[in-house]
Amino acid sequence: MVLLMDLNEQADRDFGAARRKAWLRRLALRFLRKSDSVAPSFRELQNELRAHNRVRRGRRLVDTGEIVGSVGRSKDFDRNFSPLRASYGERWKRVDLAFHRGEDLPPVSLYKLDGAYFVLDGNHRVSVARYHSVREVEAEVTEFLPARAA
């Protein structure tokens, strides 16, 4: 006899597992005395590279492994886009339910800078995609280019 799990229960389990992974990674990094569990900040890298010229690249498929951080929420998700706060559970679970139901979600909005991608809109969608090992997400991409050397 096979017991089928309700999708809401599955979303609860998925979120719990994602939070545990983030917690265990942070614990392991702390044990190894490394402090790189938080995703890099887009604004800091943008200012460092003086990359303020933007070019819209349009809609494309982006490898989820190339998404390294967030534009405004770099402390809310770790480097692997696992949620760091329990308060994000409801939104995360709604996106996870949509994933399990096979619903189409809108493309995420990404900034590309120095070969890496940062999430402007769609952090939870990227988090759920990474949790389920989805290789690519559909994205609206805007690339930031550094100022030319004088």
DSSP-derived letter for residue 142 is E
Packed helices 123-131 and 7-31: angle between N→C axes, nearest 10 degrees: 90
| pLDDT reported for residue 96 | 94
Tokens representing 58 are 């349009």
Q: pTM to 2 decimals?
A: 0.80
Max Cα-Cα span within the chain: 72
Query: Could you read off the pLDDT of 52-111 as tens digits, one per residue?
Result: 899 999 999 999 999 998 887 667 787 788 888 777 788 989 999 999 999 999 999 999
| pLDDT reported for residue 135 | 95
Residue ranges per structural domain of the chain: 7-145
Asked whether the beta carbons of 113 and 50 are under 8 A apart, the reply is no
Asked whether the beta carbons of 128 and 121 are under 8 A apart, the reply is no
| pLDDT reported for residue 81 | 84
| pLDDT reported for residue 35 | 58
| pLDDT reported for residue 149 | 45
| pLDDT reported for residue 5 | 67
Q: How far apart are CA 125 and CA 115, in angstroms?
A: 21
Query: Could you read off the pLDDT of 21-43 as tens digits, one per residue?
Result: 877 777 776 666 665 555 677 88
What is the chain's length? 150
Q: How far apart are CA 137 and CA 107, in angstroms?
A: 7
DSSP string, 60-109: EEEEGGGEEEESS-TTTBBTT--B--GGGHHHHHHHHHHHHHT---PPEE
| pLDDT reported for residue 8 | 82
